[in-house]
Structure 1
Amino acid sequence: MLLLWAVRMVRTGVERAHGARLREALRGARGGTAQMALVGMILAAVLQSSTAVGILAAGFVSSGILTVPTGIAALLGADLGSALVVKILSFDLSGLIPLLLLVGATMFLKFEARTVRQSGRIVLGIAFILLSLQMVGQATEPLRDSSLLPGLLGYLRGDPLTSFLVAAVIAWVVHSSVATVLLFVSFASSGMLPLEVAVPMVLGANLGGGIIAVWLTRGMELEARRIPLGNLIFRGVAAVLLLTVTQIIELPIALLGTTEPVQLVNFHLAFNLALVLLALPFVRPMDRLVQLLLPDRAVETGGDELAPIVSMLDRTSVGIPTVALASTKRELLRMGETVAAMYHPVMELMDGGNLEKIASVRALDDQVNRKHTDIKLFIAEMNRGNLTEREAKLGAGLTDFSITLEHIGDIIAKSLLTLAETRARQNLRFSPEGWLEMCNLHSRVEANLQLALNVLISGDVESARQLVKEKEVMRKLARDSHDRHLQRLCNSHSASIDTSDIHLEIVRALKEINSLLVTVAYPILTESGHLLESRLAQAS
């Protein structure tokens, strides 16, 4: 468990510190399959996860930034990158553990800068990976003298298919092929896992690693799901074929190293390298195959895609204010989730989304408008009954937040998506610095949207205070982005000049959305006495 947690710790540290830059690197590499494979390999080596790269690529395919063949190429390269991580971590680096723990903990605990703290998380994660491998080796050492082990290994020697399938299941369950292969290498180092058993298990781990991305993207659009499916077919066919070959002829694995653990790691690396070289020329035929396996659904013309989901507003409860208000909150939460679904893909659409995808996201605004109207009329009907002062005030607050969400939906549909259309039609490109600033602002507002919905449901004062504080943080970030953009214009940065109006409009819209979200906290803080009536200083 320490090994699994440490691998995840490194990945989350890299994503939090450099996530926007990594996404920029992936979206910027559109030249060809070889280039995409190289970028995927580098990203997977940094993230220590080919699955993370696969999900990123799937998201970009959904928004039209990447094609399915280039996404498959990126995932093939990512598998090679994760194999390189296994190779690096298989060296005896135990002497570095104390130093890595000291440096990582100091960076994480003693510094306030986000990048430094997350870099400390990465260093700590690497230390924990090395420590966990050392602990696994020590803990399993007594098993070598177990009377049960020879019988189990004897069975697995005679049944490589079982070894293969068991390893695939293990890799899928732990959701990390890197951790799974490292575990097998650790067992091999302690003499528990002979090479003839370990080889089928490494092949099985490669199959299981391909299944992970297919499983995690199962709820995405069809185009996004085709990428991990194509990668899984490549990996599965290659693994099964090589497993079959090992039963017919003896592979010269002894040439891959002097010890069995080294041979096992190099075999894993060689398998992924060969797979990239052999599969890259066939990514386009694979695209056609996965289109046959996951065909496009027939387009409905009756407008059913905009049909409202069954409302949470219980008309029979209008005369019971407490129940009516509770059902209103649930419907508002659904309305907020629809707004979040509109907001989430904005930056992907801004970068390379096609007009059809932009139109499909804009269509969600009709659902937001319908929910807003239903909530407004439901609260108005409830107000005709006998309400306490607190119930009337709460109903008014829910109506106000419904208006706020409807306004946010309009900003997304009529401002941000219109800007995305303009960028797409004129084929403009943002400067790397400007794009990074906008992505950071977008991510911050998205987190605040979720916080606002939590505040709506919980009414928690501390969460409401945190949300209001985010307004000042967002104001400063927007101001800094504005100033840096103007500085780039002064320096005659061509990309900044071409996209200047769009950049400033996006920053202004994101700031306005954030300010609207904060309003959900005001009634809670006013009632609890945590909000001043005016920000103006008293005249002397």
Structure 2
Amino acid sequence: MKHLLNLLAAVALLVWGTYLVRTGILRVFGGNLRQVLARSIDTRPAAAMAGLGVTALVQSSTATALIVSSFVGQGLVALPTALAVMLGADVGTSLMTVVFSFDLSWLSPLFIFVGVVLFITRQATPLGRFGRVLIGLGLMLLALRLVSESTAIMVKSPAVQALLLTLSSDILLEITVGAVLAVIAYSSLAIVLLTATLAASGAIPLDVALGLTLGANLGSGLLGVLATAKSSVEVRQVPIGNLVFKIVGVIMAAPFAAFWIRTLKPYLPEPATVVVLYHLVFNVLIALIFLAFTHIVARWVEQWLPKPDRNMVAGRPHHLDPSALATPSLAISNAAREALHQADIVETMLLGMLRVIKDNDLRLAEELRRMDDTVDQLYSAIKYYLTKISREALGEEESKRWTDIISFTINMEQIGDIIERVLLDIEDKKIKKGRNFSDAGMAEICELHARLVDNLRLGMSVFLNGSVRDAQKLLEEKARFRDLERAYAGTHLTRLTENTVQSIETSSLHLDLISDLKRINSHICSIAYPILDSAGALSPTRFRQVLPEEPSRAL
């Protein structure tokens, strides 16, 4: 029982080490990895090479699948190209399996010691996060040594030998067991390494090890499908296409497992070497065979999972993909895109508000007020999504972006509430009472509204690009808008002294309206503050400093 617990603990340590390496790499290079993939997938061969390189770093084809799937969901990458990336990703994982199959246990103490020192002393820096990667590598190497030692003892037990012999009778059973283990461990890399170690110690026959390896490959394809099960159709298409490659590849390779053993065993006496090379050759051949047919598989997948009609604004897909939460940089990007979706709806409400004022359109006013419910729902969904992202997993820049998104969505939600109240006032005080603004008053409202729309679009650009120059321009617009609002309030009071009938009837509504427009503009301009603060371009105080020679005024 003790030796079984030791083996299970070693397997758990192997899985945990793989997780530390994968998440650590994503935290250090997450944004750069996404850029590499985005820039390197012009052709299918280039896409495959990009997938190979990224996955060799991340050590998880599932993580690569989530990143590429998000590109397809955003419309940035065509499905055939994304499938080519996944073929390369599987080769990248198998290459790392070959590397870890060598006896590198002597590096384990060094990696763990250096990693812990870096992680503790520089935890909030990229160097500290790299220390996390070193800890994971050290734990993986240590776990492989512990697995080897534990199985060497357990294999001598008659009961264990009898149990393992049951696997040698059915390759379908071996494939099934390998797939289930890969799904449970959330890593085909860990299961193939475990299988190679068990084969090297004599715990399982070589033919059983190859069957488990095929199953681990199938399990990695299932992992991507399960991880994106609740995502949009476009996101789910990539893992399903990759699973098709896996299924066809396993069907083609399974009958030739015995041939592989007969051919290579005389030249490769180490069973572990046979296993990892089998894993590598399997994925290389699948990539070479299917790279020319990704467009055909993509067409099949699109027929199985057709994209829904998304012509209406309310039918636009949401980007809060739960499967991306394991990749903080990707989850932050998804939240930012959803925040822009929320801003698009606010812009629609703002544009429609002027039409209601001009045309007295009650039906449009009701539609716009219903849209505020959508804005509120998006705010709640984005906020909840962001709270599920581990703040400890975020780097400094990602933490700032997290805060920026929260601030942006709060401002959009409050703008939506203000527009809803304005529409209610227009209905009650203008449309239902049959009143109209004077020509001069309407011209002032149109001028303020036009500036407001321009500022909102500029604010969305600032949020998206983080341009300090645009943020400064947006902040300057706040002062201009405030001065314009005061000037128009003064001209309105002048019209009242001239006893203009329309101005008298709508005086309260007019003043409330331009005040509400100023409040909306203040929320828009608030988008600039985090950008300027991060760049050190924000003045510590907005109060005018009194010059020494300027005499103070007694109150």
Give TM-score, length-normalised by structure 1: 0.61
| Aligned counterpart, 1:345 | 337
Q: Distance in 2 between matches of 1:101 and 1:74?
A: 32
| Aligned counterpart, 1:305 | 315
Residue 444, structure 1, aligned to residue 399, structure 2? yes
| Aligned counterpart, 2:449 | none
Aligned match of 1:151 in 140, 143, 162? 162
Kindly tell me the number of residue pairs found equivalent between the two proteins.
380
Name the SS for the 1:191 alignment partner.
Answer: coil
| Aligned counterpart, 2:537 | none
* Within-5 A mapping of 1:98-247: 98-111=109-122, 114-246=125-257
AA at the equivalent of 1:36: A
Q: Distance in 1 between matches of 2:301 and 2:405?
A: 35
Q: Distance in 2 between matches of 1:273 and 1:231?
A: 14
How far 1:363 moved relative to its partner? 5.0
How far 1:249 moved relative to its partner? 8.9
Residue 293, structure 1, aligned to residue 304, structure 2? yes
Name the SS for the 2:288 alignment partner.
Answer: helix
C-alpha change, 1:502 and 1:345, in structure 2 (3 Å) is closer
How far 1:502 moved relative to its partner? 8.6
AA at the equivalent of 1:229: I
Name the SS for the 1:345 alignment partner.
Answer: helix
| Aligned counterpart, 1:4 | 15
Q: Distance in 2 between matches of 1:128 and 1:249?
A: 32
Q: Distance in 2 between matches of 1:38 and 1:448?
A: 35
Structure 1 unmatched runs, 5+: 308-339, 348-357, 370-401, 413-438, 456-498, 520-532
| Aligned counterpart, 1:259 | 270
AA at the equivalent of 2:216: A
Q: Which moved more, 1:156-165 or 1:249-258?
A: 249-258
C-alpha change, 1:535 and 1:188, in structure 2 (3 Å) is farther
Name the SS for the 2:265 alignment partner.
Answer: helix
Q: Distance in 1 between matches of 2:50 and 2:117?
A: 32
* Within-5 A mapping of 1:270-281: 270-281=281-292
Structure 2 unmatched runs, 5+: 1-11, 318-331, 351-371, 383-393, 411-460, 476-522, 530-540, 549-555
Give TM-score, length-normalised by structure 2: 0.60
C-alpha change, 1:361 and 1:539, in structure 2 (3 Å) is closer
AA at the equivalent of 1:4: V
**Greater C-alpha radius of gyration:** 2
Residue 72, structure 1, aligned to residue 83, structure 2? yes
| Aligned counterpart, 1:96 | 107
Q: Which moved more, 1:71-80 or 1:440-449?
A: 440-449
Q: CA RMSD in A?
A: 4.3
AA at the equivalent of 1:11: R
Deviations 1:405-463 (A, max 9, x none): 98x98xx9xxxxxxxxxxxxxxxxxxxxxxxxxx989733442268889x9xxxxxxxx
AA at the equivalent of 2:398: S
Q: Distance in 2 between matches of 1:368 and 1:128?
A: 54
How far 1:506 moved relative to its partner? 7.4
- In the alignment, is the contact (CA less than 8 A) between 1:256 and 1:266 conserved in 2? no
| Aligned counterpart, 2:58 | 47
* Within-5 A mapping of 1:408-427: none
How far 1:154 moved relative to its partner? 2.5
Deviations 1:475-519 (A, max 9, x none): xxxxxxxxxxxxxxxxxxxxxxxx999956478669999996999
Name the SS for the 1:181 alignment partner.
Answer: helix
Q: Distance in 1 between matches of 2:544 and 2:116?
A: 43
Identity score, percent: 28
* Within-5 A mapping of 1:395-434: none
Q: Distance in 1 between matches of 2:148 and 2:212?
A: 18
Deviations 1:315-370 (A, max 9, x none): xxxxxxxxxxxxxxxxxxxxxxxxx99842279xxxxxxxxxx8x6655548999x
